[in-house]
């Protein structure tokens, strides 16, 4: 039985235990965290992320950055859920969502000193720009509108992520103004042209740096930092299909999805 005392330690441990059990398949998705386990603020929601990964014994292979209550945030991508795009079709659960994103992938690791000194302008010299599909999977019941803090505690509903190869030399201007297109079986389902939806991106990079420093995480070569979807969150077709994401001037990323739940 989970403790529901209204203390930060109990909220963090109890919520993390529940979310970890759902990820293990031991418990059905929740209709919201119990009242006594709701994170009180962004700091507690962030601590639940760390406690969930620790309970599962999972490392970190990347981060997704964004904003909660207009405050820049970074949420970890668990190592078992992040991979380069392969040739095999992907198995996804029922109800999965899809997002076409632009991300950077580190070419080298950063120790604490290098991380502390890092400025957003330094990133293009340390990382490759890549296209990425994130497949979203919530730990909350489909009919439960999770709160912003619940979503944050649940690592912003990350499910799995596949990324493509480096797209060539880049600068922040390449990520800040985009032309991107998402198609399913050759039919366009979303398009974005213009400024990145999460501008200014420097704030998000700083949030990622500070999050790593606060948790003692030293980013390793190969970690990805995804800057958020430009084509929005869309449902993956239940029958599966071929997804193709394109970024003008920077190539494409294509993957085959099997019927959901198969």
Give 148-188 as a DSSP string.
HHHHHHTGGGEEEEEE-----S--HHHHHEEEEEEEETTEE
pLDDT of residue 3: 46
Top-confidence residue, 144 or 15: 15
Confirm whether 223 is domain-assigned.
yes
pLDDT, average across residues 40-62: 96
Confirm whether 195 is domain-assigned.
yes
CA 121 from centroid of its chain's CA atoms: 22
Confirm whether 202 is domain-assigned.
yes
CATH number for the domain spanning 204: value is 3.90.850.10
- Give the H/E segment covering residue 18: helix 8-24
Confirm whether 89 is domain-assigned.
yes
- Average pLDDT of the chain, as a whole number: 94
Tell me if 208 sits within 8 A of 168, measured CB to CB: no
Tell me the per-residue pLDDT of 174-204, one tens digit each, with 9 for 90 and over: 999 999 999 999 999 999 999 999 999 999 9
Q: Which long-range contacts (CB under 8 A, 24 or more apart) does 167-171 make?
A: 167/128, 167/129, 167/130, 167/131, 167/247, 167/250, 167/251, 168/129, 168/250, 169/124, 170/124, 170/128, 170/129, 171/124
Tell me the per-residue pLDDT of 200-230, one tens digit each, with 9 for 90 and over: 999 999 999 999 999 999 999 999 999 989 9
Confirm whether 135 is domain-assigned.
yes
Q: Which residues contact 96 (CB under 8 A, 6 or more apart)?
A: 135, 136, 137, 159, 235, 236, 260
Number of domains in the chain: 1
Pairing mode of beta strands 158-163, 127-136: antiparallel
Pairing mode of beta strands 241-247, 82-84: unpaired
Residue-number span of the structural domain to which 77 is assigned: 59-257
Name the percent of the chain in helix, strand, coil, to the closest 5.
30, 35, 35
How far apart CA 151 and CA 141 sit, in angstroms, is 12
pLDDT of residue 1: 45
Confirm whether 23 is domain-assigned.
no
Confirm whether 40 is domain-assigned.
no
Confirm whether 26 is domain-assigned.
no
pLDDT, average across residues 88-117: 97
How far apart CA 135 and CA 53 sit, in angstroms, is 18
Report residue 216 as tokens: 């003692």
Tell me if 38 sits within 8 A of 19, measured CB to CB: no
Which residue do the tokens 């997704």 mark? 64
Tell me the per-residue pLDDT of 151-181, one tens digit each, with 9 for 90 and over: 999 999 999 999 999 999 999 999 999 999 9
Tell me if 68 sits within 8 A of 149, measured CB to CB: yes
Tell me the per-residue pLDDT of 236-259, one tens digit each, with 9 for 90 and over: 999 999 999 999 999 999 999 999
């Amino acid at each position: 039985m989970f403790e529901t005392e209204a203390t930060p330690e109990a909220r963090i441990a109890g919520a993390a235990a529940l979310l970890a059990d759902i990820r293990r398949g031991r418990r059905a998705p929740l209709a919201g965290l119990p009242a006594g386990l709701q994170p009180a603020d962004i700091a507690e929601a962030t601590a639940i992320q760390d406690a969930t990964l620790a309970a599962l014994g999972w490392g970190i292979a990347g981060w997704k950055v964004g904003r909660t209550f207009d405050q820049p945030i970074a949420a970890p991508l668990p190592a078992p859920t992040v991979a380069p795009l392969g040739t095999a079709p992907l198995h996804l659960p029922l109800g999965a969502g899809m997002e076409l994103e632009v991300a950077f992938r580190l070419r080298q690791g950063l120790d604490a000193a290098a991380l502390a000194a890092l400025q957003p302008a330094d990133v293009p010299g340390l990382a490759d720009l890549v296209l990425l599909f994130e497949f979203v999977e919530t730990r909350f019941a489909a009919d439960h509108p999770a709160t912003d803090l619940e979503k944050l505690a649940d690592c912003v509903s990350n499910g799995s992520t596949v990324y493509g190869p480096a797209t060539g030399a880049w600068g922040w201007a390449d990520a800040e103004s985009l032309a991107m297109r998402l198609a399913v079986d050759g039919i366009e389902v979303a398009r974005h042209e213009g400024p990145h939806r999460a501008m200014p991106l420097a704030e998000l990079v700083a949030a990622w740096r500070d999050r790593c420093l606060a948790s003692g995480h030293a980013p390793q070569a190969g970690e990805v930092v995804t800057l958020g979807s430009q084509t929005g969150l869309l449902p993956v077709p239940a029958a599966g299909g071929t997804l193709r994401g394109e970024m003008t001037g920077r190539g494409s990323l294509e993957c085959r999805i099997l019927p959901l739940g198969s």
